[in-house]
Amino acid sequence: MNKKDVIIALDFKDRAETMDFLQRFTDEKPFVKIGMELFYGEGPDIVREIKDRGHSIFLDLKLHDIPMTVKKAMKNLALLGVDMTNLHCAGTIEMMKYAMDGLTEGALEAGRERALLIGVTQLTSTSEERMQKELLINASINDCIVKYAENAKEAGLDGVVCSPLEAAMVKDACGKSFLTVTPGIRYPGAEVQDQVRVTSPADARAIGTDYIVVGRPITKAEDPVAAYRKVCADFLG
């Protein structure tokens, strides 16, 4: 698995749509993200099938529960052989530590390398106004994201999910080796849909983020393979 990469969000409703998309890629095996829609629709078998096709997998389920429940769930996710998975930093440092314990136990049991564990700071669909008015978090969104990232580092996580706009400040607070995984990637002039904090692949590279997660700009493109290659060129250089 590369230290910097483009991750394609497989935001499809079922296996048929997913495999129809993946079979277009005959010369490369992109790193892909399996989220709630696909996982809850198809179950763990879709993870195993895509893994068997040679893809690295970011399993994006954003766990958030009491510490022991998250630990047991993470152990099961580790047994699937995923390469990256995540949880909500809002679940507290204790929950994140338990999650890392479960992921490590599962990897040892399966005889595999442990997956990267990253924490979600604030969703890229959340604005500062919504965070303050609806979640009653009175800090600025930047201060909140940095604090959540610092908590994740203290808990032993590998990095966090944040928008590209916050990646640099997370690196400043937590160190260059602390990973930033950034959704909210759009080209200038494109519709942002439900995203709020967005930037382009080239700007994400300049900011210094490690992984970008790209969905609709690739999956809805007329030529997804060409779109993927353009994003890779813009982000990876």
Name the residues annotated as catalytic: 62
| Distance (Å, whole) CA 73 – CA 162 | 23
Which residue, among 145, 98, 139, has the nearest Cα to 117 in the 3D structure? 98
Q: Are 185 and 165 in contact (CB under 8 A)?
A: no
Is the sign of the CA dihedral 79, 56, 217, 166 positive or negative?
positive
Question: Which tokens hold the place of 236?
Answer: 């990876």
Residue 234's closest CA among 219, 222, 218?
218
Chain-centre distance for alpha carbon 67: 21
Which H or E element spans position 42?
Answer: helix 36-42
Q: Look up tokens 């790209």; give the residue.
A: 214
